[in-house]
């Protein structure tokens, strides 16, 4: 036991999974209270655990109808969980410690650094935490006000109801939570730009990650002023967003279950929203279960890639995906080094990207096979979509989440947890020690391909 405690003390990053697990259990316990639901009695422990995990991991998958099942107290717990999960357990703890003691201890800084981003310097951590909370507060406030005004004046909601709806969806959007207080998510507002635009803007900002937001706000707009990380994240996000928008327009144009009945100009906003939400938040303004199979395949790819590194989005991350693309492109061209934006990619980054991608592929494949065996009544594309959505912490579903049995719910709960903390972070937390090899084996060249 002493060795375990010493190991955690030497590597504070290992505490991150423990912090997330503790937060999930706390939220689940609160959701099991009778006051948390509208009907008499209390919520079952598995549904409470599933919802708590989905909220803390900012996924958005639900087994219970959020507005119908949860009371205002329960909705408040879910909203607070999304906020804490989005900003990070360790970051939140460091911020609270900063407010109390006016200074950060070394261990607290290390824990917050592990959650924020490995490139954040300890000396800058205090300012980074404050700026992260400030940016989150400003964006959520502006989006909440915009949504509240629209709900009140455009849809006749009372002041409190409009404020609550605006606040909840503002927090859910920026933190990529995906929870909605409408049973059909945002399908009722598919053609309302005053609802879709603020939600999309908040979700995209949250999906870029604080390092990119910090850099753009500090250095201004212009590629020459940005680091390689920001260039790759912003360029990759733009390519995937526009590509997804075009693909959904093309594939769903005549689908009677989605865009088919709409006029040509009415199809632009829902396809735009679907492309933006799939890699980050998980809201939907069209019926995902009615989408074409090839559209679902594109959706799975976008969910698998995810958003920016050190963001509230999941997936393998945009930079990971594009690092591997640049490696392939450099290899095809016969270049000795992989480079992007006239910058050589380090071998360590390439190995990390390859490891993360392969781990995600392996986890995804294993989970799909397991869920298929557990519930063969679901089609393969439904199962693959559900698993990818959980592991990438997106939150969209073809409609099978509520029909999962107890074992399947447990599996999806584990996937959301693992997807949030990341395979590499989980491996680091479980590792006993780092090994440094003082020698190298001779080089070999096996045949490949």
Q: Taking the domains of the chain in order of start, what are their residue ranges?
A: 2-430
Distance of CA 134 to CAs 130, 175, 210, 213, Å? 6, 14, 11, 12
The reported pLDDT for the residue numbered 341 is 87
Q: pLDDT digits over 206-257, tens only? A: 988 877 888 887 765 555 678 888 899 999 999 999 999 999 999 999 999 9
Q: Tell if the pTM clears 0.95, that is, is over it.
A: no
Which range, of 3-12, 63-72, 252-261, averages the lowest pLDDT? 3-12
CA nearest to 309, candidates 359, 367, 278, 349: 349
Query: Torsion angle, CA of 139/120/392/284, rounded to 10 degrees?
Result: 10
pLDDT in tens, 25-56: 999 999 999 999 998 989 999 999 999 999 99
Contacts of 314 (CB under 8 A, 6+ apart): 59, 176, 303, 306, 307, 391, 392, 393, 394, 419, 420
Least confident span in 143-157, 248-262, 370-384, 418-432: 418-432
Would you say residue 204 has pLDDT above 80? yes
Mean pLDDT computed over every residue of the chain: 85
pLDDT higher at 157 or 437? 157
Is residue 36 within 8 Å of 81, Cβ to Cβ? Answer: no
Q: Which residues contact 102 (CB under 8 A, 6 or more apart)?
A: none
For residue 2, pLDDT beyond 50: yes
With bands split at pLDDT 50, 70 and 90, how would you rate the model's confidence at 280?
confident
Q: What is the spatial distance between Cα 244 and Cα 61, in angstroms, rounded to a whole number?
A: 22
* pLDDT attached to residue 9: 47
> Per-residue pLDDT averaged across 343-367, rounded?
89
**What average pLDDT does this structure show over 180-192?**
95
Task: Give the closest residue to 61 by CA, choosing from 185, 167, 154.
Answer: 185
Residue 413 pLDDT level (bands cut at 50, 70, 90): very high
């Amino acid at each position: 036991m002493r060795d375990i405690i010493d190991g955690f003390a030497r590597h504070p990053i290992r505490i991150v999974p423990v912090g997330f697990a503790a937060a999930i259990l706390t939220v689940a316990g609160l959701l099991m209270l009778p006051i948390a639901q509208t009907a008499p009695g209390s919520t079952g422990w598995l549904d409470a655990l599933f919802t708590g995990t989905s909220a803390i991991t900012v996924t958005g998958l639900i087994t219970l109808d959020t507005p119908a099942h949860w009371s205002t107290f329960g909705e408040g717990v879910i909203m607070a969980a999304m906020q804490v999960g989005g900003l990070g357990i360790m970051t939140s703890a460091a911020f609270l410690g900063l407010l109390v003691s006016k200074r950060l201890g070394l261990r607290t800084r290390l824990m917050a650094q592990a959650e924020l981003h490995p490139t954040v310097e300890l000396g800058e951590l205090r300012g980074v935490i404050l700026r992260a909370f400030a940016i989150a507060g400003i964006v959520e406030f502006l989006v909440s006000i915009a949504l509240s005004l629209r709900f009140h004046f455009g849809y006749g909601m009372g002041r409190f109801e409009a404020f609550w709806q605006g606040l909840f969806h503002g927090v859910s959007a920026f933190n990529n939570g995906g929870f909605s207080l409408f049973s059909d998510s945002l399908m009722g507002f598919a053609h309302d730009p005053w609802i879709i635009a603020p939600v999309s803007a908040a979700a995209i900002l949250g999906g870029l990650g604080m390092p990119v937001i910090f850099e753009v706000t500090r250095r201004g707009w212009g590629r020459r002023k940005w680091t390689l990380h920001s260039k790759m994240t912003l360029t990759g996000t733009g390519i995937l967003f526009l590509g997804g928008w075009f693909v959904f327009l093309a594939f769903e144009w005549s689908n009677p279950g989605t865009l088919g009945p709409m006029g040509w100009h009415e199809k632009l906003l829902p396809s735009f929203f679907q492309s933006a939400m799939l890699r980050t938040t998980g809201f939907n303004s069209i019926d995902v279960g009615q989408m074409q199979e090839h559209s679902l395949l594109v959706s799975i790819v976008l969910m698998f890639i995810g958003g920016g590194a050190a963001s509230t989005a999941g997936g393998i991350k945009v930079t990971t995906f594009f690092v591997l693309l640049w490696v392939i492109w450099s290899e095809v061209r016969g270049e000795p080094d992989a480079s992007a934006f006239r910058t050589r990619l380090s071998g360590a980054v390439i190995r990390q990207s390859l490891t993360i991608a392969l781990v995600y592929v392996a986890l995804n494949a294993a989970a799909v096979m397991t869920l298929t065996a557990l519930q063969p009544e679901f089609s393969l594309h439904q199962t693959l979509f559900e698993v990818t959505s959980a592991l990438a912490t997106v939150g969209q579903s073809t409609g099978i989440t509520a029909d999962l049995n107890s074992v399947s719910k447990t599996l999806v709960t584990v996937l959301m947890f693992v997807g949030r903390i990341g395979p590499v972070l989980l491996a680091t937390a479980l590792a006993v020690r780092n090994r440094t090899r003082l020698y190298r084996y001779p080089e070999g060249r096996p045949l490949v391909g």
